[in-house]
Structure 1
């Protein structure tokens, strides 16, 4: 596991296949945080997790006495706790816009990914897969305007998007090269980042050929 570090008061209970855990691991790697990563089997969770997290869920971040169990809250906490490099804009309006982008990613893309991965209704899965593909194709030109999503700098928004794009193959979503040139180039930029490579679990490395 790439983000494992020297002994630390911070522990991250992570699911090595889960895109929500992955987004937090990217932030940890981007910040160079000394953290103990506990890769957990979601079907056989550690006994102490239930005493820490009332939902007994993954991911869970433990920093001394603080316990966090919502991924975006973890990401913003880490950005404030370890301010360099900053992963949200300085100014309130731009920060609010970034949070709104993260909300829309959750509503429009992450929710479709969750259906594809978890639903047993194949019609529902096919619909979610088509909607995710169509949405990505439609928005592809935006990724050509700046190096990162609506920004010249890598931000928490990119940390939310990257795990979804890394999983497109296992989701059965194929992007047409002619229509998605900008998005595919953006994906290359993300995947080549050192922090992204460090964030990958063994299971995630096996997701792409």
Structure 2
């Protein structure tokens, strides 16, 4: 199998953790046209949204959207199981994943716009950073309540929710917005990052993050364009960054989703 991937993508990290937990063999490819919004490439043919991850499987079939990929992988290779057997536990895992994939990812992504892509300075940067701190703390409080006193989000063993939470929380830790030291959520992060599947995925993230400063100008000048969509766009606007969106459109260094 081939996974169209970017090591910084939390969605791609979730998929890689699941594939590695199941011991599956796959290769990662960073599409050359990633972030360009082109529609005439093999990557765009595999996913019209031109987003990672995309999993290329039997006979050239392509599966995109991280949750759909996880569902395919779980059904195709059910052992070891990541999805809970109990219907209520399965619904709870999906809700945890949904919050991470929508609201948490948007906050992390917004801070990346400041840290790596320098979209704002001065008072605006301070205002947006304050919003990141506030919203990250709220999301982590919610996750801490979901975790409770258990070792894993699904209870006694690593599972679907843990794969979804891991990339989001780890990025907050990388940004300096991790959970309080010694808290149950901080201990969970220490526990999860020691799993081989997670450790390998986080190492790829760390290596890519170290190169982002050099790549930032390529995005700011329109060589690549960051995608503003749904929860990301909502978070940026409601946090006070509407001028960032306007400037990005004027300078043609942001993009919206297909089919636009």
Q: Given the two structures, how large is their TM-score scaled by the length of structure 2?
A: 0.66
Which residue matches 2:152?
Answer: 148
- Return 5+ residue gaps in structure 2 as ranges: 211-260
C-alpha separation in 1, matches of 2:205 and 2:143: 29
Per the alignment, do residues 48 and 132 of structure 1 end up closer, same or farther by CA in structure 2, a change over 3 Å counting? same
1:107-166 deviation per Cα after TM superposition (whole angstroms, max 9, x unaligned): 442222222223635333431332112432465365351110142121111111111122
Which residue matches 1:78?
Answer: 73
Which residue matches 1:54?
Answer: 48
- Return 5+ residue gaps in structure 1 as ranges: 1-9
C-alpha separation in 2, matches of 1:37 and 1:198: 13
C-alpha separation in 2, matches of 1:40 and 1:128: 30
Alpha-carbon contact 1:12-1:62 (below 8 Å) kept: yes
Per the alignment, do residues 51 and 141 of structure 1 end up closer, same or farther by CA in structure 2, a change over 3 Å counting? closer
Alpha-carbon contact 2:22-2:77 (below 8 Å) kept: yes
C-alpha separation in 1, matches of 2:194 and 2:29: 25
- Aligned 1:180-191 pairs, distance under 5 A: 181-191=183-193
Alpha-carbon contact 1:149-1:158 (below 8 Å) kept: yes
Which residue matches 1:7?
Answer: none
How many residue pairs are counted as aligned between the two chains? 197
- Quick check: 1:35 aligned with 2:39? no
- Aligned 1:151-162 pairs, distance under 5 A: 151-162=155-166
Per the alignment, do residues 40 and 52 of structure 1 end up closer, same or farther by CA in structure 2, a change over 3 Å counting? closer
C-alpha separation in 1, matches of 2:46 and 2:72: 18
C-alpha separation in 2, matches of 1:176 and 1:124: 21
Mean Cα deviation higher: 121-130 or 12-21 = 121-130
Give, in angstroms, the shift of residue 39 of structure 1.
3.1
Q: Given the two structures, how large is their TM-score scaled by the length of structure 1?
A: 0.81
Alpha-carbon contact 1:112-1:129 (below 8 Å) kept: no
C-alpha separation in 1, matches of 2:8 and 2:206: 6
Aligned counterpart for 2:14 among listed residues 23, 31, 38: 23
1:49-103 deviation per Cα after TM superposition (whole angstroms, max 9, x unaligned): 1222111221111112431110111112111111111001113232122112212
3-state SS, counterpart of residue 193 of structure 2: helix
Mean Cα deviation higher: 12-21 or 180-189 = 180-189
- Quick check: 1:11 aligned with 2:9? no
